[in-house]
A and B are shown apart, each in its own frame.
Chain A
């Protein structure tokens, strides 16, 4: 069985500050990990994904994430927050053989303070 835990349902940072959203996963098979962003009243958009080619993954809008197997983590970071980054962020894991099924974390709401 696979699961994802996102630490902190709400994160608030100042504009220009570092963004760090935490994600820990549990998987009995090699995981494939994703970060999605959901803006208000919209669908989910892929930020980045871990595909085992590189442990440090760069995504859109200046976000990146590092896969750490020893810590079973895939934390999302951005060096400098922008007001437009305010949204809900979801970490997800897949890897179940024979079917593609994303298991999502509970989400982290990111608020940017001016």
Chain B
């Protein structure tokens, strides 16, 4: 069984469109994240949710809106897509309460804006 699953795996869309990426984890974790990996492979956190509450928002444009309907799901909606949004987006989850606990990552969603 996949621990952290994202859909879709690939997403090609035109500038100006609105798109969503879905993420689900079956690990029973209470914290979920979105990370962005750019074309140079650099990974940076975008958002973090703990028990459906937003706890980290790393100065991401307002066009990006995460939504967590429950602890097991964290979706990412992007409005008015721009060329610079092209990247690989990773969902991850972990269990809070211990700073040394590792995050488990999904397979990533490669977003290409044309």
Taking beta carbons and an 8 Å cutoff, which residues of B are in contact with A?
Answer: 4, 31, 35, 40-45, 48, 50, 55-56, 90, 92, 94, 96, 99-108
Contacts and interface: CB of A to CB of B under 8 A. Distances in A.
A90 B105 CA distance: 13
Contacts of B99: 32, 94-97, 100
Interface of A: 32, 34, 36, 38, 41-46, 49-52, 88, 90, 94-104, 106-107, 109
A46 B106 CA distance: 12
A90 B43 contact: yes
A99 B48 contact: yes
- Would you list the 10 A-B pairs with minimal beta carbon distance, nearest first? A43-B105, A32-B100, A104-B43, A51-B100, A44-B105, A43-B107, A107-B41, A46-B102, A32-B99, A99-B55
A100 B31 contact: yes
B42 to A, nearest CB: 6
